[in-house]
Amino acid sequence: MNVSLPQNGSAELRVAFEAVAAAAKISREYYRGNFTVTTKDDMTPVTQADVECEEAIKRIILDAFPAHGFFGEETGRTKTDTEFLWLVDPIDGTKAFVRQYPMFSTQIALMHDGEFVLGVSSGTMFDELAWAERGRGAWLNGERLAVSDIAELGRGAISTGNLKSLAQSDRWSSLGKIVATADRIRGYGDFYHYHLLAAGKIDAVIESDVNILDVAALSVIVEEAGGVFTDLNGARIDLQIRSVLAANAAMHAKLLSELQGCLG
Protein backbone atom coordinates (compact mmCIF):
# COMPACT_ATOMS: atom_id res chain seq x y z
CA MET A 1 0.00 0.00 0.00
CA ASN A 2 1.46 3.32 -1.08
CA VAL A 3 -0.79 6.23 -0.13
CA SER A 4 0.57 9.75 -0.30
CA LEU A 5 0.18 12.18 2.57
CA PRO A 6 -2.42 14.83 1.67
CA GLN A 7 -0.88 18.20 0.86
CA ASN A 8 -2.70 19.97 3.68
CA GLY A 9 -2.01 17.25 6.23
CA SER A 10 -0.61 18.27 9.61
CA ALA A 11 2.72 17.25 11.09
CA GLU A 12 0.78 14.89 13.36
CA LEU A 13 -0.86 13.20 10.38
CA ARG A 14 2.50 12.82 8.68
CA VAL A 15 3.89 11.05 11.75
CA ALA A 16 0.79 8.83 12.02
CA PHE A 17 1.27 7.79 8.37
CA GLU A 18 4.90 6.94 9.09
CA ALA A 19 3.88 4.92 12.13
CA VAL A 20 1.17 2.84 10.38
CA ALA A 21 3.58 2.12 7.52
CA ALA A 22 6.14 0.77 9.99
CA ALA A 23 3.48 -1.34 11.70
CA ALA A 24 2.22 -2.71 8.38
CA LYS A 25 5.70 -3.89 7.46
CA ILE A 26 6.02 -5.77 10.75
CA SER A 27 2.52 -7.30 10.74
CA ARG A 28 2.86 -8.50 7.12
CA GLU A 29 6.10 -10.27 7.98
CA TYR A 30 4.44 -12.14 10.86
CA TYR A 31 1.02 -12.72 9.28
CA ARG A 32 1.70 -16.20 7.90
CA GLY A 33 2.13 -17.63 11.36
CA ASN A 34 5.78 -17.29 12.37
CA PHE A 35 5.10 -15.84 15.82
CA THR A 36 4.48 -16.80 19.43
CA VAL A 37 1.14 -16.20 21.17
CA THR A 38 0.66 -15.57 24.88
CA THR A 39 -2.48 -14.81 26.89
CA LYS A 40 -2.93 -11.58 28.83
CA ASP A 41 -4.66 -11.27 32.20
CA ASP A 42 -7.96 -10.47 30.48
CA MET A 43 -7.67 -13.78 28.58
CA THR A 44 -7.08 -12.10 25.20
CA PRO A 45 -4.14 -13.14 23.01
CA VAL A 46 -1.06 -11.07 22.34
CA THR A 47 1.62 -11.86 19.75
CA GLN A 48 5.13 -10.75 18.97
CA ALA A 49 3.61 -8.73 16.15
CA ASP A 50 1.39 -6.75 18.56
CA VAL A 51 4.34 -5.89 20.76
CA GLU A 52 6.78 -5.04 17.96
CA CYS A 53 4.21 -2.96 16.08
CA GLU A 54 3.42 -0.92 19.17
CA GLU A 55 7.10 -0.43 19.97
CA ALA A 56 7.70 0.90 16.45
CA ILE A 57 4.65 3.18 16.57
CA LYS A 58 5.52 4.51 20.01
CA ARG A 59 9.11 5.23 19.03
CA ILE A 60 8.10 7.12 15.90
CA ILE A 61 5.43 9.19 17.64
CA LEU A 62 7.38 10.08 20.77
CA ASP A 63 10.54 10.85 18.81
CA ALA A 64 8.49 13.42 16.92
CA PHE A 65 6.39 14.64 19.88
CA PRO A 66 8.22 13.85 23.13
CA ALA A 67 5.87 15.98 25.23
CA HIS A 68 2.77 14.10 24.11
CA GLY A 69 1.09 11.32 26.06
CA PHE A 70 0.79 7.78 24.71
CA PHE A 71 -1.92 5.19 25.41
CA GLY A 72 -1.18 1.82 23.83
CA GLU A 73 -2.94 -1.52 23.94
CA GLU A 74 0.23 -3.32 25.02
CA THR A 75 2.22 -0.71 26.94
CA GLY A 76 -0.54 1.24 28.68
CA ARG A 77 -0.71 4.98 29.26
CA THR A 78 1.97 7.56 30.00
CA LYS A 79 1.73 11.26 30.95
CA THR A 80 -1.89 11.44 32.05
CA ASP A 81 -1.89 15.27 32.30
CA THR A 82 -0.79 16.13 28.74
CA GLU A 83 -2.60 18.36 26.26
CA PHE A 84 -2.14 15.75 23.52
CA LEU A 85 -2.74 12.02 23.91
CA TRP A 86 -2.09 9.39 21.23
CA LEU A 87 -4.26 6.27 21.36
CA VAL A 88 -2.90 3.19 19.62
CA ASP A 89 -4.05 -0.35 18.97
CA PRO A 90 -1.14 -1.86 17.02
CA ILE A 91 -3.14 -4.88 15.86
CA ASP A 92 -6.84 -4.43 16.42
CA GLY A 93 -8.21 -7.90 15.79
CA THR A 94 -5.45 -10.04 17.25
CA LYS A 95 -7.74 -13.07 17.31
CA ALA A 96 -8.21 -12.70 13.56
CA PHE A 97 -4.47 -12.24 13.12
CA VAL A 98 -3.72 -15.40 15.10
CA ARG A 99 -6.14 -17.44 13.00
CA GLN A 100 -4.73 -15.94 9.80
CA TYR A 101 -7.72 -14.15 8.40
CA PRO A 102 -7.31 -10.56 7.37
CA MET A 103 -9.82 -8.70 9.57
CA PHE A 104 -7.18 -6.86 11.56
CA SER A 105 -5.88 -3.33 11.42
CA THR A 106 -3.66 -0.73 13.02
CA GLN A 107 -5.52 2.09 14.74
CA ILE A 108 -3.93 5.44 15.65
CA ALA A 109 -5.88 8.40 17.06
CA LEU A 110 -4.91 11.72 18.58
CA MET A 111 -6.85 13.46 21.34
CA HIS A 112 -6.37 17.16 22.03
CA ASP A 113 -7.80 18.56 25.26
CA GLY A 114 -10.37 15.78 25.46
CA GLU A 115 -11.46 15.85 21.79
CA PHE A 116 -10.46 13.30 19.17
CA VAL A 117 -8.95 15.33 16.36
CA LEU A 118 -7.14 12.79 14.15
CA GLY A 119 -7.71 9.18 13.17
CA VAL A 120 -5.77 6.78 10.96
CA SER A 121 -7.05 3.25 10.29
CA SER A 122 -4.83 0.88 8.33
CA GLY A 123 -6.49 -2.30 7.06
CA THR A 124 -3.16 -3.85 6.23
CA MET A 125 -4.21 -6.95 4.31
CA PHE A 126 -7.01 -5.05 2.54
CA ASP A 127 -4.63 -2.34 1.32
CA GLU A 128 -6.98 0.22 2.85
CA LEU A 129 -5.75 3.33 4.60
CA ALA A 130 -8.45 5.62 5.97
CA TRP A 131 -7.76 8.88 7.77
CA ALA A 132 -9.37 12.05 8.96
CA GLU A 133 -8.47 15.27 10.72
CA ARG A 134 -11.08 17.34 12.47
CA GLY A 135 -12.57 19.85 10.04
CA ARG A 136 -10.71 18.47 7.00
CA GLY A 137 -12.91 15.57 5.93
CA ALA A 138 -12.32 11.83 5.80
CA TRP A 139 -10.44 9.90 3.14
CA LEU A 140 -9.78 6.33 2.03
CA ASN A 141 -6.76 5.69 -0.21
CA GLY A 142 -6.97 9.31 -1.32
CA GLU A 143 -10.72 9.35 -2.10
CA ARG A 144 -13.07 11.61 -0.13
CA LEU A 145 -15.55 9.70 2.05
CA ALA A 146 -19.21 10.47 2.73
CA VAL A 147 -21.84 8.48 4.58
CA SER A 148 -25.07 7.47 2.86
CA ASP A 149 -28.35 9.39 2.99
CA ILE A 150 -30.58 6.33 3.41
CA ALA A 151 -33.04 7.15 6.17
CA GLU A 152 -35.54 4.28 6.05
CA LEU A 153 -34.61 1.28 8.17
CA GLY A 154 -36.30 -1.00 5.63
CA ARG A 155 -33.77 0.13 3.03
CA GLY A 156 -30.81 0.10 5.38
CA ALA A 157 -27.74 -2.13 5.47
CA ILE A 158 -26.57 -2.65 9.05
CA SER A 159 -23.43 -4.38 10.26
CA THR A 160 -23.02 -5.81 13.74
CA GLY A 161 -19.80 -6.52 15.61
CA ASN A 162 -19.30 -7.82 19.13
CA LEU A 163 -22.73 -8.35 20.71
CA LYS A 164 -22.18 -10.52 23.78
CA SER A 165 -23.26 -7.93 26.35
CA LEU A 166 -26.26 -6.90 24.27
CA ALA A 167 -27.29 -10.54 23.89
CA GLN A 168 -27.28 -10.91 27.68
CA SER A 169 -29.37 -7.78 28.26
CA ASP A 170 -33.11 -7.18 28.31
CA ARG A 171 -32.70 -5.07 25.16
CA TRP A 172 -31.78 -8.02 22.93
CA SER A 173 -35.34 -7.99 21.58
CA SER A 174 -34.79 -4.42 20.35
CA LEU A 175 -32.01 -5.63 18.09
CA GLY A 176 -34.32 -8.42 16.93
CA LYS A 177 -36.83 -5.82 15.74
CA ILE A 178 -34.08 -4.03 13.83
CA VAL A 179 -32.94 -7.28 12.22
CA ALA A 180 -36.50 -8.08 11.19
CA THR A 181 -36.97 -4.65 9.58
CA ALA A 182 -33.65 -3.82 7.95
CA ASP A 183 -32.97 -4.58 4.31
CA ARG A 184 -29.66 -6.29 5.07
CA ILE A 185 -27.86 -7.42 8.21
CA ARG A 186 -24.18 -8.28 7.94
CA GLY A 187 -21.31 -8.77 10.35
CA TYR A 188 -18.32 -7.24 8.59
CA GLY A 189 -16.70 -6.54 11.94
CA ASP A 190 -13.64 -4.81 13.32
CA PHE A 191 -12.31 -1.87 11.30
CA TYR A 192 -13.92 -2.91 8.04
CA HIS A 193 -17.54 -2.04 8.68
CA TYR A 194 -16.54 1.46 9.78
CA HIS A 195 -14.67 1.96 6.51
CA LEU A 196 -17.78 0.78 4.65
CA LEU A 197 -19.99 3.09 6.73
CA ALA A 198 -17.82 6.14 6.12
CA ALA A 199 -17.83 5.35 2.38
CA GLY A 200 -21.63 5.18 2.24
CA LYS A 201 -21.66 1.48 1.37
CA ILE A 202 -23.54 0.46 4.51
CA ASP A 203 -25.70 2.64 6.73
CA ALA A 204 -25.05 1.72 10.38
CA VAL A 205 -22.80 -0.21 12.77
CA ILE A 206 -23.95 -1.67 16.09
CA GLU A 207 -21.55 -3.12 18.69
CA SER A 208 -21.92 -3.69 22.43
CA ASP A 209 -18.40 -4.75 23.44
CA VAL A 210 -15.57 -2.39 22.47
CA ASN A 211 -12.92 -0.27 24.13
CA ILE A 212 -11.67 3.16 23.18
CA LEU A 213 -8.53 1.90 21.45
CA ASP A 214 -10.71 -0.12 19.05
CA VAL A 215 -12.73 2.85 17.85
CA ALA A 216 -11.07 6.20 18.63
CA ALA A 217 -9.57 6.64 15.17
CA LEU A 218 -12.65 5.25 13.45
CA SER A 219 -14.91 7.71 15.28
CA VAL A 220 -13.06 10.66 13.73
CA ILE A 221 -13.24 9.07 10.29
CA VAL A 222 -16.98 8.38 10.51
CA GLU A 223 -17.79 11.82 11.90
CA GLU A 224 -15.68 13.61 9.31
CA ALA A 225 -17.51 11.60 6.64
CA GLY A 226 -20.75 13.15 7.92
CA GLY A 227 -21.83 10.38 10.29
CA VAL A 228 -22.85 10.23 13.95
CA PHE A 229 -20.79 8.14 16.37
CA THR A 230 -22.07 7.46 19.91
CA ASP A 231 -22.57 4.62 22.33
CA LEU A 232 -25.83 2.65 22.35
CA ASN A 233 -27.37 5.19 24.71
CA GLY A 234 -26.51 8.11 22.45
CA ALA A 235 -23.64 9.39 24.60
CA ARG A 236 -20.71 10.98 22.84
CA ILE A 237 -17.54 8.90 22.55
CA ASP A 238 -15.01 9.22 25.37
CA LEU A 239 -12.26 7.14 26.95
CA GLN A 240 -14.80 4.97 28.76
CA ILE A 241 -16.89 3.97 25.73
CA ARG A 242 -18.00 0.32 25.74
CA SER A 243 -20.53 0.20 22.90
CA VAL A 244 -21.11 1.84 19.53
CA LEU A 245 -24.01 3.08 17.46
CA ALA A 246 -22.62 4.70 14.32
CA ALA A 247 -24.68 5.72 11.30
CA ASN A 248 -25.74 8.57 9.09
CA ALA A 249 -27.75 11.12 11.09
CA ALA A 250 -31.25 10.02 10.07
CA MET A 251 -30.54 6.32 10.51
CA HIS A 252 -28.81 6.95 13.84
CA ALA A 253 -31.88 8.69 15.24
CA LYS A 254 -34.16 5.83 14.24
CA LEU A 255 -31.87 3.12 15.58
CA LEU A 256 -31.31 5.01 18.82
CA SER A 257 -35.05 5.13 19.43
CA GLU A 258 -35.09 1.33 19.21
CA LEU A 259 -31.97 0.79 21.30
CA GLN A 260 -32.42 3.49 23.94
CA GLY A 261 -31.48 2.05 27.30
CA CYS A 262 -29.04 -0.59 26.01
CA LEU A 263 -25.72 -1.19 27.68
CA GLY A 264 -23.36 1.78 27.70
Query: What residues does each domain of the chain span?
Result: 11-144, 153-259
First to last CA, the chain: 36
Better-predicted residue by pLDDT, 238 or 189: 238
The mean predicted confidence, pLDDT, of the chain is 92
Q: What is the pLDDT of residues 182-232, one digit of tens each?
A: 999 999 989 999 999 999 999 999 999 999 999 999 999 999 999 999 999
Cα torsion 150, 204, 109, 103 to 10°: value is -120
Q: What is the pLDDT of residues 44-81, one digit of tens each?
A: 778 888 999 999 999 999 999 999 999 999 988 887 78
Fold assignment, 153-259 = D-Maltodextrin-Binding Protein; domain 2 (3.40.190)
Task: Return the bridge partners of 109, or none.
Answer: 87, 119
Fold assignment, 11-144 = Fructose-1,6-Bisphosphatase; Chain A, domain 1 (3.30.540)
- How much of the chain exceeds pLDDT 70, in percent? 96
CA distance 64 to 57: 11
Task: Return the bridge partners of 157, or none.
Answer: 184
How distant, in Å, are the alpha carbons of 70, 86, 182 from that of 106? 15, 13, 31
**pLDDT attached to residue 263:** 41
The yes-or-no answer to whether 11-144 and 153-259 have a common fold is: no
**pLDDT attached to residue 3:** 64
**pLDDT attached to residue 261:** 46
- Within 8 A by CB and 6+ apart from 34, the residues are none
Per-residue pLDDT averaged across 118-125, rounded? 97
Better-predicted residue by pLDDT, 7 or 194: 194
Instruction: Work out the pLDDT band at 87, boundaries 50, 70, 90.
Output: very high
pLDDT at 264 over 50: no
Task: Return the bridge partners of 108, or none.
Answer: 88, 120
